[in-house]
Every structure is written in C-alpha cells, then in structure tokens.
Structure 1
C-alpha cells in the first residue's frame, strides 16, 4: 500500500464487543472510530459523534429530546487522543457531572508471535502484551502503514486489525476503512479538569462505590466541569439517580482492571 495513505486522514471503523457487566453473559456491541493522519489520532464511539450532532441540532432548534439522547448511550464513554510521534495520549471522560482528562504514556511491551492469519482483506500477524491487568492478543497488518490501533493500543509495525483480551471480555475488530476530510473533534461540554491517571482512577472507584454521595459532593461544589444547572423536579431527580446507580453498578468489569 503506498506511503501516501499515511499522509491522508483515514477513519478505521471497529466493532467493539464488550462485557462491562460481569453478572450479565450478554455481550454489548457497538461501532467505534479511529480517525488518524498517521501522526495523531482520536478514538471514540460512533454514538458519541451521533450524540454531538444531535446536541448541536437540539441547541439550534431549542427542542431537547431526552429519549433520543438516551437511545445513543455508549458503553465506550471516553475519547482517546494520541500523539503517535511522542507515543503519548490524553484520555477524556466524564465522572458524574464533570469532565476529566489525564495524560498517559503507556508502555506496551509487545511480543510478536510467528502466527499469521488473513483477516478480511489483510494478512496479519499475532502479537501479545499485558496492559491494565489483562493479557491482550493483537493481530496487525503491515499493509496499512499506521502504527496505531483501537483504544490505547499502538506501537506495532502496522495497523492493529483486531485486538482482544485473553478472557474474551473485550475485543475490537476492524470492519471498514474510509477516507475523511478532517479528523473528528468531539464536543467538549463545559470545562475539562485535568488529573493524574491515579487520581482519576480513585475518583472512578469512589463513584462506583457510592454514586449518590459522589454526585451530591460534586453538586455542592458547583459541578466544576459541567457548570451550574437549574433545579430539577425532586421526583425526576430521584428517578435519574436510580438510573445512574443501576448503570454504574452494571459497569463492574472495566477494560482496565488495574
């Protein structure tokens, strides 16, 4: 494949297959996008782009439809922006009311294995690494000259076409490749609070343990990342809290275990 491809903006469409809830054997599937020019990339859920588009339309028409937004919820509630030249990334997500980010320079000690297999149109080779408390297997192709892949993965001599953990809880499979005019820039709603990864992880654990107390504490500090919000009907508030607690409890098997 000509090197010219590495100088163009490309969108790689992956199918994400996830088991975020260890108590539910039913896997979740959705599409995720990796937009890259070979030097930088952004990885995000397809539904995040659809929600951003819907939000802009609702702001323009001043017609907010909560049900439409709920239908576009994602199990990949984060954006990962990579600087492939410096082999670093910024992880952005939301905890409760606020937006957070942390910088990371993950070290992937890839072990390239002799096994090769054709996946779709591409000849691939298998590799193995340990990351986030899981063993991961990746299949990469040198036919696409991007040393990148879905989620935080990068650093193999070609694009990662497929990656999955040894338990089969999470996998990402390349489905489609598109040329795009520009790399997508997800909407930032409110201020983003930058933390270290360890502090972000601590906050996630607090939220998982006691969602109501965590969100109430955020509300009392004015919700720094989300801005102050108008008062909500107490009954609606209670229903929203129940939904939130059930959703958080169902996310008990994160992609990174440590």
Structure 2
C-alpha cells in the first residue's frame, strides 16, 4: 500500500495521463475533522475520519480514532464524539449510528445541488474550485480538485466532479480537511463493518426518539458505553425519587459534552 504525498501527486497524474486515478482503483482518504462540541464555547476538538472509495459509485466514511495506523501518533488517546458511519451508493446514503443502546440505520437520497464557482485557486498544491451547498441545517463551502476524479466525499457530501480536499460550515463549527490519500488493495473496512446489528428506522423517528429521551431521561432505562467498553446501566424504579433526579442531572451533564452534532439532530451521549 503506497502513500501518495501531496507534492508528488501531480507528477504521477501527468506521467500517467490520469490513468492512475481510474475508478477501477480503490482509495482511502484520511480527513482531519475540527469541530465545536459545545454550542456556547469556542473550544475545538479534533478527530480523524476516513473515506474509502469502493469502485465507481460506493464509499464508506467512518471514525478512524481506534484504528491502528501510521497516524496514531497524531490522534492520541481519546473518546470519539463522531461515532457514526456513512455508506454512500450511487444516489443514496445510509447513516449508521446509535443512541441509548439502539443501533439504527436510515436511508436517504444524496443531496447534490452544489453551486460551483468556476474560478480556480491553489490549495495544498492542487488546483481547486469552490462549491456551496446547504445540508443538515448548515451552509457549507467545499474546495474540490477536478484533477482527482473521486465523486464521493466525507460525511454525506457527494456529487462534485473531483475529490473534496476541504469542506467547512460557514458557522465555523465543522471542518473536514484531507491530510492523506492512499491507494489500497487490501480488504475494505466495509467488509468487517457489522451492519446486521443495526435496525432500519426512519430518520424522523430517530429524531423523535432522541428528543423524547432528553426531555426526561431519568424516567427511562438507559445504557452508556464508551470507546473503551466501559458501560453504565440505569433502570428507572418507577418513582421520581432522588435517584431519578440524580440521573436527570447526570444525563444532562453527559449530553452537554456534545450538544452540537453535525446535523443538529442526531445527538450522542458521551461519558
């Protein structure tokens, strides 16, 4: 598996007349994600996520924080907040996530109504164009490289005529920036990703489920599991006693660690 450095990539494209990036190949694209976990604070958190392209029209995007790789030294030891996986097809995507021990997946059409600016500029050694889109109640700006014809992008972004090198929200809360491009021939993560444990549910029902839980968590049973496998179980006794009140306060504190999800809807409980 060869790692392609930014300053050598243009040379290879020129040398092989673009054949190097034929869609018959599979690629891994590592993104550095900077985001603001708490709406009312300016502090940013960094995580790493990887996009794997699978042939012409399929990709998987997932958190890379617990995967062993050469970038481990960059990532450190931390609990991931961006615990979701997105699998893109030709026209649709599947979003895999979990909340309160419910592993869910919903399927929706890809949004591709980009507004592309034809002016070019340089970004990390690439000629890029700018494109804008509204997605998940945020306005986004993307820089993409037409010379790298990969149409899948990070998160739910797709449909641009070139690889997205950076995409960021205008509010400054989220930024995905490519830091590594790798050609690979080994098995994709999608082959080991256990989709069977996820239940297919409409996105609106997931949003309602989360909203109802957060209104009164102490009146429900729940299980919290962190990235190290540590778990915490709580069972509602049926009485709104001190234990119930304590749990409501506890979950409120857990929820406030990450109250600014990328789509403003699918919240996670981080402890």
Whether TM exceeds 0.5 here: the answer is yes
Residue 64 of structure 2: aligned partner = 46
Spell out, residue by residue over 1:41-84, the C-alpha distance to the aligned partner (whole angstroms, 9 max, x if none). 1001112546xxxxxxxxxxxxxxxxxxxx4421211000111x
Find the partner of 2:143 among 123, 139, 148: 139
**3-state SS of 1:7 partner:** coil
Contact 2:58/2:152, CA 8 A, preserved across alignment: no
Q: TM-score, normalised by structure 2?
A: 0.73
2:213 is equivalent to residue 207 of structure 1: yes
2:168 is equivalent to residue 150 of structure 1: no
After TM superposition, the runs of 4+ consecutive aligned structure 1 residues lying more than 4 A away are 230-234, 237-245
Aligned pair in 2 of structure 1 residues 3, 19: CA closer, same or farther (>3 Å)? same
Q: Distance in 2 between matches of 1:14 and 1:247?
A: 27
Offset, 1:243 = 6.4
Higher helix share: 1
Find the partner of 1:34 among 40, 45, 51: 51
2:25 is equivalent to residue 18 of structure 1: no
Q: Structure 2: which 5+ residue stretches go unaligned?
A: 1-12, 69-76, 224-230, 236-242, 266-271
Contact 2:88/2:152, CA 8 A, preserved across alignment: no
Spell out, residue by residue over 1:153-200, the C-alpha distance to the aligned partner (whole angstroms, 9 max, x if none). 001111111100111100100101112222213543872111011111
Contact 1:80/1:151, CA 8 A, preserved across alignment: yes
Find the partner of 1:109 among 109, 113, 119: 113
Q: Distance in 2 between matches of 1:141 and 1:245?
A: 43
Spell out, residue by residue over 1:198-247, the C-alpha distance to the aligned partner (whole angstroms, 9 max, x if none). 11122232334334444x1x67xxxxxxxxxx99699xx99999765423
Backbone CA RMSD of aligned residues: 3.0
Spell out, residue by residue over 1:237-258, the C-alpha distance to the aligned partner (whole angstroms, 9 max, x if none). 9999976542322222221136
Q: Structure 1: which 5+ residue stretches go unaligned?
A: 51-70, 220-229
Q: Distance in 1 between matches of 2:219 and 2:97?
A: 20
Q: Distance in 1 between matches of 2:111 and 2:195?
A: 30
Q: Distance in 2 between matches of 1:179 and 1:30?
A: 22
Aligned pair in 2 of structure 1 residues 193, 143: CA closer, same or farther (>3 Å)? same
Spell out, residue by residue over 1:112-134, the C-alpha distance to the aligned partner (whole angstroms, 9 max, x if none). 01342211131110001111111
Residue 183 of structure 1: aligned partner = 188
Residue 269 of structure 2: aligned partner = none
> What is the correspondence of 1:1-258 to structure 2 with a 5 Å cutoff?
1=13, 2-5=18-21, 6-37=23-54, 38-49=56-67, 71-83=77-89, 85=90, 87-180=91-184, 181-185=186-190, 187-188=193-194, 191-214=197-220, 216=221, 245-257=252-264
Q: Distance in 1 between matches of 2:195 and 2:67?
A: 13
Aligned pair in 2 of structure 1 residues 208, 20: CA closer, same or farther (>3 Å)? farther
Q: Distance in 1 between matches of 2:151 and 2:139?
A: 20
Q: Distance in 2 between matches of 1:36 and 1:212?
A: 42
Tell me the matched-pair count.
223
